[in-house]
Chain A
Amino acid sequence: MKKTLLAAGVAAMMMSATPVMAKTLVYCSEGSPEGFDPSLYTTGTTFDASSKTIYNRLVQFKPGTTELEPAIAKSWEVSDDGLEITFHLRDDVDFQTTDYFTPSRPLNADDVIWTFERQMDKDNPYYKLANGSFEYFQSMSMGELIKSIEKVDDHTVKFVLSEPNAPFVANLGMDFASIHSKEYEEQLVDEGKPEMANQQPIGTGPFQFLNYQEDAAIRYQANPDYFRGKQPIDNLVFAITPDAQVRYQKLQAGECQVMPFPNPADVDSMKQNDDIQVLQEAGLNVAYLAYNTTQKPFDKPEVRKALNMAINKQAIIDAVFQGAGQTAKNPIPPTMWSYNDDIQDDQYDPDKAKQMLADAGVKNLEMNIWAMPVQRPYMPNARRTAELMQSDLAKVGVTANIVTYEWGEYLKRAANKDHDGAVILGWTGDNGDPDNFMGTLLSCAGVGTSNNVAEFCYQPFEDLIQKARTLDDQDERAKLYRQAQEVFKEQAPWDTLAHSTVFMPMTKNVTGYTIDPLGGHSFEGVDIEE
């Protein structure tokens, strides 16, 4: 009896002495971040480690969608002429308190103005430090679009634009527009070490930075002062694991709970594993074969359509994407607003394709198919895709030669207006706006660049997308984009090949994770069930 009592006593003591274990989520990330200042970089790996965890933006994309919702700005309004956008900021947003910085005030309009000034004002010390290398800001033409930014009061900021631009607000939800602390960065400048902002970041986001062991791990802890409340997990670790097979092994061994970018071939076995759940969603991307529409015989829409009908896209999905994708019929993915589902795709029909080519007077056509040398989220294997196309085209009497170059060279040559044949390429959306696909990839302004490799400049299409860009009403814009997709299908500057599927394997005890259609990985609201 004494022994039993003693054992019970010891057990009770042990239980009371057991500390409440901190909840740690380990994410097997695919690579090392280039730094922690998202304005300087363009890769998703860096954004996951910086903007998605440490920072917030004025607006954000509603989790799992491409719709905008308030973030640091609680509301905004656009002037009638579309030239002024006024943002009303929340007054309860604090910058993170860490070992290296203690903020003396909450976020205000000065921080918002500072965030954009450092990317566009040549006199700003951060502009000088980076030599103006804010590539994303520049590639979205933000410097030309923003005429001025005015502080109306401590919690109101007005952006004055040089021309009406409907996608502008969505641009502010992108990673490069993450809000920096003016107080912290000025302090670093005063201390003569401004570059530390890229190594010891301060933001307002759900997690705050603890440390980074290069190429090994990044550690964060939940921000106790986060304006949407402290996160359910206490610690977040990014375990940098470049090999997909090894990530899967780590997930199975319980060394991490979430992993991105599985090998498509492993997905089935993951789905059969009792301890693993696999979330999946159509990616916000498109892979295409772009004909050089300025070159004979590809200058004729009927020839382009005939070639499209000669290529068996479903066979490409089965063989190259191994089912992890769907055939594309439009230049924008189906998850994007304004997607026109009424469009009829050109059906695979080699006999009809042959007849159409003969009707167009095309005989013994020999053409180049460009196969990218790299794997991209929208295209797992361009070489294999090109081989399948080559065999399909041979059946209609077209001889296709596959050409490829080193990736930088490929883009450079494809940007040349006189490049020969048809180019396999693709795009992943930046901001969920249809203009980011149709305006960037198919407008007259893109001719002669690696964006519009079809060299497509067709006035009826151009008029529609230009008009849509200036309107503020989303329903009106959607109507124009739907029409633009009809024109696109008639003209067929591309063979729209595929939209790939995004898979996100994680252990079954992870809850609250949502796949971001824009390709980012955010752990806000994610929990681990005990």
Chain B
Amino acid sequence: MLRFLLVKLAQLVPTFIGVTIVAFAFIRLLPGDPILLMAGERGISAERYAQLQSQFGFDRPLIVQYWDFLSGLFRGDLGNSLVTHSPVIHEFMSRFPATMELSIFALAFAVIIGLPAGVIAAIRRGKTLDHTIVGISLTGYSMPIFWWGLLLIMLFSGTLGWTPVSGRMSFIYFIQPVTGFMTIDSLIAGDWGAFLSALHHLILPAIVLGTIPLAVIARQTRSSMLEVLGEDYVRTARAKGLSSYRVIMVHTLRNALISVITVIGLQVGLLLAGAILTETIFSWPGIGKWMIDAISRRDYPSVQGGLVLIAFIVMIVNLLVDVAYGVVNPRIRH
């Protein structure tokens, strides 16, 4: 297992270097100059422009700028935002828990509903329930997040008044951040009202962000289950007289889960991508919204630093998924 882990870790190094190159190049390939954008219609004198270029280091050769970025990265220094002048690492870390909390709830929603839905659809293959689940998951998969979010806000917050429109917690509460997870911090503070308010605020954004992963998980579970249900050993298990429950839960689901776990792992990257839109609709103060702002302002250090950190997180999650495979299916370790 240790060797398996070490090999996987070694494979991450070139990927990580590649990510730094892409992140560095991506924002610079986009047309637009951060200094001119900052100046806007008011304009900027050529002298002041040159001064700022030199201050930000943009007048140096690209390779030197990349080397600075890379060496800073290994020192844990991602530079300062051109807009707020604060360290990028601080800006990222103060927002990341909000995205993480939302993503965890969205994924939990997707798994809790998607997995049983996929199993049920597989068991009831060809029946009305199967068609219904497949139809709903196809609709969910094709749902434009922005439109879906606004629709839910209008219905549940506007018309019915059941859920708050946006934000992380009611303004009557102020919880000092400890972990950055509002649900946990409110419990640490012993404030039940704040905890319930945080949960209440999570409902709609988690549903919106979790909709596409839910559809993907349900469809994957269904097809994977159908594949395993057709295997000889399942037929043998049934022939031996095992209960349906045991056949499905022990012999089928466990094997079907291997590909489902892969899909769940891949959803983490998609969740972070989906968070960009969800956070914008629900005014959720996470990294998605922060990245959008940074890209539109061509805030080079924030965009390249943010991309590298997000890619790093996705890589770590995928590593954990690989390890989880190893646990579910020991053959993969070899």
Contact = CB atoms under 8 A, between A and B. Distances in A.
A427 interface: yes
A253 B290 contact: no
Interface in B19-67: 30-45, 48, 51-52, 55
Interface residues of A, number: 52
B43 A415 contact: yes
Contacts, number: 133
A496 interface: no
Contacts of A214: 91, 94-95, 285
Contact of A217 (B33, B35, B94, B167): B167
Interface string A240-253: 11110110011011
Given A34-B83, A139-B42, A408-B37, A253 B280 contact: no
Interface string A11-52: 000000000000010100001101100001010000000000
Given A31-B293, A253-B158, 20 more contacts: A32-B293, A42-B40, A139-B42, A195-B85, A213-B177, A216-B98, A216-B283, A219-B171, A237-B171, A240-B285, A241-B283, A242-B280, A245-B150, A253-B161, A255-B166, A406-B32, A407-B32, A408-B32, A450-B43, A451-B41
A40 B38 CA distance: 12
A281 to B, nearest CB: 21
Contacts of A376: 41
Given A139-B42, A239-B171, A246 B282 contact: yes
B171 A215 contact: no
B43 A249 contact: no
Given A216-B285, A242-B283, A249-B154, A24 B95 contact: no
A40 B85 contact: yes
Interface of A: 24, 26, 31-32, 34-35, 40, 42, 130-133, 135, 138-139, 195, 198, 211, 213-217, 219, 237, 239-243, 245-246, 249-250, 252-253, 255, 376, 405-409, 411-412, 415, 425-427, 449-451
Given A32-B293, A243-B283, A408-B37, A250 B166 contact: yes
Nearest to B30: A406
A219 B158 contact: no
Centre residue among A24, A130, A216 by max chain B CB count within 10 A: A216
B255 interface: no
A215 to B, nearest CB: 3
Contacts of B223: none
Interface string B137-158: 0000000000000100110011
Interface of B: 30-45, 48, 51-52, 55, 83-86, 91, 94-95, 98, 150, 153-154, 157-158, 161, 164-168, 171, 174, 177, 280-283, 285-286, 289-290, 293, 298
Contact of B95 (A139, A211, A215, A449): A215
Contacts of B298: 408
A32 B45 CA distance: 28
Contact of A216 (B48, B55, B161, B168): B168
- The DSSP consensus for interface residues of chain A is mixed
A409 B33 contact: yes
Nearest to B287: A215
A138 B39 CA distance: 11
A133 B283 contact: no
The 5 closest A-B pairs by CB, nearest first: A215-B285, A408-B36, A216-B285, A406-B31, A450-B43
B98 to A, nearest CB: 8
Contacts of B86: 35
Contacts of B39: 42, 135, 139, 411, 450
Contacts of B52: 133
Contacts of A249: 153-154, 157-158, 165-166
A215 B270 CA distance: 22
20 contacts: A34-B83, A42-B39, A42-B42, A139-B42, A217-B171, A239-B166, A239-B171, A239-B283, A241-B166, A242-B283, A242-B289, A250-B165, A253-B157, A253-B165, A255-B167, A406-B32, A425-B41, A426-B41, A427-B41, A450-B43
A242 B91 CA distance: 18
Contacts of A138: 48
A366 B284 CA distance: 48
Contacts of A42: 38-40, 42
A213 B285 contact: yes
A255 B172 CA distance: 11
A411 B36 contact: yes
Nearest to A37: B85
Contacts of B34: 408
Contact of B158 (A195, A198, A252): A252
Contacts of B51: 132
B42 A451 contact: yes
A216 B177 CA distance: 13
